[in-house]
Amino acid sequence: MKPREQYMESLRQLKNEIMKMGILVEEALSKAMKALTELDSDLAESVITEDMMINRMEIEIEDRSIALIATEQPVAGDLRHVITGMRIVTQLERMGDHAVHIAKSTLRFECKAFKKPLIDISKMAELCISMHREVLSAFMDEDEIRARNLVDLDDEVDSLHEKVQRDMFTGMVEDESFLSQALQLTYISRYLERFADHITNISEWIIYGKTGNHVDLNG
């Protein structure tokens, strides 16, 4: 294999590893939300334990990226692609942490049922998973248009987060026994909102990798 072909193959392998890490993050969020809705402490514990795999992948991908830069000394667009991958894995690791935070919040519930159905929080999670799948596809295809379009979904997540906060505050005022649940659910809503923000950060890095331009999609 020629040096250039070998280098391009190394880049493809890096992208595939990032995709695998992204899939693990989606699985972590899905499991965390299932653990929450079913108040399944065993499943919540598994999310926390399995986060080590995501953390390990971040380190391995960063090490491979640094080695690639050191050995191949890529310039211009090629260097941007490597840097973009490194920045994306950082975002993915933080997203995995938010799934862990949701799992830990689930373990703090001492109830057998919720006083109010988790309608809006469940919607937030569904949007986050849809956004996550879309941004991973945009990354693999280097599609800046699809990356930019995720801002609208992020706005929906933000609106739902604000609604959850209002509803939890009202619930606490009306029923003091709801205080503990409401606080944890407010935290969980915040974790989902931050999960979506990291997706828009990934979108910004996709755009940078494609165009070389830094953009602020949250501005």
Query: What's 183's domain CATH number?
Result: 1.20.58.220
Distances (CA, A) of 2 to 8, 9, 94: 10, 10, 37
Query: For the chain, what is the mean pLDDT?
Result: 92
List Cβ neighbours of 56 (8 Å cut-off, separation of 6 or more): none
* 218 within domain boundaries: no
Residues 1-51 have pLDDT tens digits of 566 677 788 888 999 999 999 999 999 999 999 999 999 999 999 999 999
What number of residues does the chain have?
219
Residue 216 maps to a domain: no
Tokens of 19: 């995709």
CA 192 to chain centre: 9
Residue 47 lies in a domain: yes
- Please name which of 164, 203, 158 lies closest in space to residue 183, comparing C-alpha atoms: 164
In the chain, the number of structural domains is 1
d(CA 33, CA 192) in angstroms, rounded, equals: 10
Place of tokens 């991908």: 61
Q: Report pLDDT digits (tens) over 141-181.
A: 999 999 999 999 999 999 999 999 999 988 888 887 788 88
Is 37 a member of any domain?
Answer: yes
Q: Give the integer Cα–Cα distance in Å for 190 and 85.
A: 26
For residue 194, CA distances in Å to 58, 70, 82 come to 19, 33, 25
The domain in which residue 111 lies consists of: 3-211
Query: Residue 86: inside a domain, yes or no?
Result: yes
Residue at 75 is within a domain: yes
Instruction: Indicate whether 14 belongs to any domain.
Output: yes
Query: Minimal CA–CA distance to 12: which of 71, 75, 20?
Result: 20
Dist. CA 30–CA 96, nearest whole Å = 11
Of the chain, the percentage scoring pLDDT greater than 70 comes to 97
The verdict on residue 217 lying in a domain is: no
Query: Which pLDDT band holds residue 219 (cuts at 50, 70, 90)?
Result: low
